Amino acid sequence: MEQKLFFLINREWIGPVLDRLMAALSSLDFWIPLLLVLIAALAIFGGFKGRAFLVTAILTVIVTDSVVVNFLKHLVNKPRPYQTQSVRVVSLKKTTPRFLGVLQPPKIRFSKPETGPIEGRSFPSGHTSNNFAIAVVLAAFYPRRGWLYFLPAAGISYSRIYTGSHWPSDVAISIVLGLGLGLGILWGVTALWKRWGATLFPALYRCHPSLVKCQADLVAP
């Protein structure tokens, strides 16, 4: 059943526009310039809430990707689809700078199953876990529009199957993992602020007793 769904997504539900879109969504190189601009904008113009979100988001990625996802990848050691099957591998062409690869037709090839011992990194999907964890944090800090990030997070997750990098079950479980980690890290950071904010940063805490809600939110009727 899983292989059938994978090959439907990877080989049949495809098209030139989807190839380019999914390759871009799946490529970190494509997103890096935009992420750097957003980080700089939040750090300079975001005020307390923007900077608090930025710190929380960075901590979320560190815990999710470098600790939990990395540990599970080595523990489970599940091969990626392209390591064990002949699958359609879609990626952006290598350009300088790399993000300009989206302007070129994507690179498409069919993989060959590897022989011998395989170092598998299919589960969990770091792209999926990271983006859904960030989506939770973003929705908490910016409830009016932050939830919209769940849409690109879902697109990025789907692209990991489309491009041949993960099995559908890897992505499905990674969504749950990301949601749980996002909620857990958010709870931990807000609890730490309530416990230690007044002691370590008394002036700042008086102005911002809530890490997530701005002062205007707290006094609004």
Q: Find out whether 171 and 158 touch, Cβ atoms under 8 Å.
A: yes
pLDDT tens-digit series, residues 5-35: 999 999 999 999 999 999 999 999 889 999 9
Global pTM reads 0.93
- Going by C-alpha positions, the residue among 147, 137, 163 that lies closest to residue 23 is 163
- Going by C-alpha positions, the residue among 74, 53, 98, 66 that lies closest to residue 212 is 53
Q: Find out whether 76 and 177 touch, Cβ atoms under 8 Å.
A: no
Copy the structure tokens of residue 18: 């989807």
Q: Find out whether 81 and 165 touch, Cβ atoms under 8 Å.
A: yes
- Position 214 confidence tier, pLDDT thresholds 50, 70, 90: low
Q: Find out whether 182 and 135 touch, Cβ atoms under 8 Å.
A: yes
Domain boundaries along the sequence of the chain: 2-113+123-219
* H or E element, residue 109: strand 107-110
CA distance 72 to 67: 9
Q: What is the pLDDT of residue 211?
A: 87
Q: Report helix, strand or coil for 177.
A: helix
> What's the sign of the alpha-carbon dihedral 39, 41, 44, 47?
negative
Copy the structure tokens of residue 98: 């790399």
pLDDT tens-digit series, residues 107-166: 999 999 988 888 889 999 999 999 999 999 999 999 999 999 999 999 999 999 999 999
